[in-house]
């Protein structure tokens, strides 16, 4: 069973993915935050993130978000020539800025748009005439629906008829964002009706939970998001079959953070901006650390206090 690192805008950018892969491991594939169009071009920030030079040696899967076939085609025209052979399609983003325009989970209530996307996938997957002889394949990451937990049933036949490596399901609806329970009953029904390998995603934070999911369901994989940000060694701990002590985990977190900070020192010259950027590293760490120590880190107003707060973390 595969372990996939979920895409998380603002967190799992290229530098983080590279360092995580080097220092923590345990992850089979890293999914990039969604790449999107702005004025009909790929945003320069996204282009940097998927630049193969910045992803060398890391098993990276670029993710795209598109509201129709035209947008997808434009995105793929840039991404496929970079050499990627597996591209993930976002049909799950719950942010209203995207869903309002029919992107992410906003596409789920529109089977006609899903058909447009699937037609392109079908054509490209079947394209054996590519100059380099290499085919491109696709996966989909989705939710149950935008508003209703049964919306996926309107498109599952379309998806089943489309060649896909797998479908990752986060069993919530878009308007829930990340609130409320994941709907495991709906997930089981999806598993039953989906012909593709299925990856589970949602609220997994410990090696036992991974173990439980793997032994309960016939899964192709588990995609970990916030749980892996909070505990970067989570995937490696599951793979090696034993848990690290809290001290060992903090030591790895510190090392990862130190390397990430060194990276930002080269690319963000202004200290205030650098502090704002690096502090996000700790956003999801609260449950893993002493609360007071965690607060000192995320509330530090300058780099000196910030570094002192990290130094004080008990190892
Ligand atoms: C801050 C943030 C950014 C996210 N960005 C993306 C994204 O770019 N693409 C995507 O498919 N999902 C995105 N997600 C959703 C996650 O990939 C994942 O599906 C979600 O967090 C649930 O998994 P988890 O409980 O393991 O975190 C984002 C989630 C958060 C909290």
CA of 114 to the centre of ligand 1 (A): 21
In which element (H, E) is residue 264 found?
helix 246-267
CA of 301 to the centre of ligand 1 (A): 28
The two structure tokens encoding residue 183:
């709907």
CA of 8 to the centre of ligand 1 (A): 5
CA of 80 to the centre of ligand 1 (A): 24
| Nearest residue to 151 via CA among 111, 185, 97, 179 | 111
For the chain, give the mean pLDDT. 96
Ligand 1 contacts CB of residue 93 (under 6 A):
yes
Name residues whose C-beta falls within 8 Å of residue 162's C-beta, 6 or more positions apart in sequence.
Answer: 118, 121, 122, 138
CA–CA separation, 216 vs 200, rounded Å? 12
Ligand 1 contacts CB of residue 145 (under 6 A):
no
Check whether 315 has a pLDDT greater than 90. no
Q: Where do the domains of the chain lie, and which CATH numbers do they carry?
A: 2-240 (3.20.20.70), 246-311 (no CATH)
Return the best residue to mutate from 5, 8, 179 for the ligand 1 pocket (most ligand atoms within 8 A of CB). Answer: 8
Taking the whole predicted model, whether its pTM rises above 0.95 is answered as: yes
Q: What is the DSSP letter of 52?
A: G
Atom 23 of ligand 1, residue of closest alpha carbon: 202
Per residue in 76-114, is it b (16+ CB within 10 Å) or e — as a string?
bebbbeeebeebbbbbbbbeeebbeebbbbbbbbbeebb
3-state secondary structure of 103: coil
CA of 7 to the centre of ligand 1 (A): 6
* CB of 155 closer than 8 Å to CB of 108: yes
* pLDDT digits 0-9 by tens, 64-82: 999 999 999 999 999 999 9
* pLDDT digits 0-9 by tens, 115-163: 999 999 999 988 766 666 568 999 999 999 999 999 999 999 999 999 9
* pLDDT digits 0-9 by tens, 16-74: 999 999 999 999 999 999 999 999 999 999 999 999 999 999 999 999 999 999 999 99
């Amino acid at each position: 069973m595969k372990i996939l690192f979920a895409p998380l805008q603002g967190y799992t950018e290229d530098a983080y993915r590279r360092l995580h892969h080097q220092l923590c491991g345990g992850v089979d594939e890293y999914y990039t935050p969604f790449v999107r169009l702005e004025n009909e071009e790929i945003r320069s920030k996204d282009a940097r993130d998927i630049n193969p030079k910045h992803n060398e040696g890391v098993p990276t899967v670029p993710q795209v978000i598109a509201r129709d076939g035209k947008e997808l085609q434009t995105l793929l025209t840039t991404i496929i020539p970079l050499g990627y052979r597996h591209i993930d399609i976002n049909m799950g983003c719950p942010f209203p800025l995207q869903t309002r325009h029919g992107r992410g989970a906003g596409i789920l209530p529109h089977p006609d748009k899903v058909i447009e996307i699937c037609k392109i996938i079908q054509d490209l997957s079947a394209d054996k005439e590519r100059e380099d002889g290499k085919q491109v394949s696709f996966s989909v990451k989705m939710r149950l629906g935008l508003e209703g937990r049964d919306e996926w049933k309107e498109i599952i036949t379309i998806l089943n008829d489309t060649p896909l490596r797998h479908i990752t399901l986060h069993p919530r609806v878009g308007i829930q964002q990340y609130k409320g329970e994941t709907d495991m009953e709906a997930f089981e029904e999806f598993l039953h009706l989906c012909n593709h390998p299925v990856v589970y995603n949602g609220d997994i934070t410990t090696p036992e939970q991974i173990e439980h999911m793997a032994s309960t369901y016939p899964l192709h994989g588990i995609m970990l998001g916030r749980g892996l940000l909070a505990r970067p060694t989570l995937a490696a701990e599951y793979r090696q079959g034993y848990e690290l002590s809290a001290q060992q985990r903090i030591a790895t977190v510190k090392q990862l953070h130190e390397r990430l900070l060194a990276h930002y020192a080269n690319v963000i010259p202004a200290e205030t901006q650098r502090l704002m950027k690096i502090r996000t590293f700790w956003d999801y760490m609260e449950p893993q650390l002493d609360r007071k120590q965690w607060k000192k880190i995320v509330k530090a107003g300058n780099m000196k206090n910030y570094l002192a707060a990290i130094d004080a973390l008990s190892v």
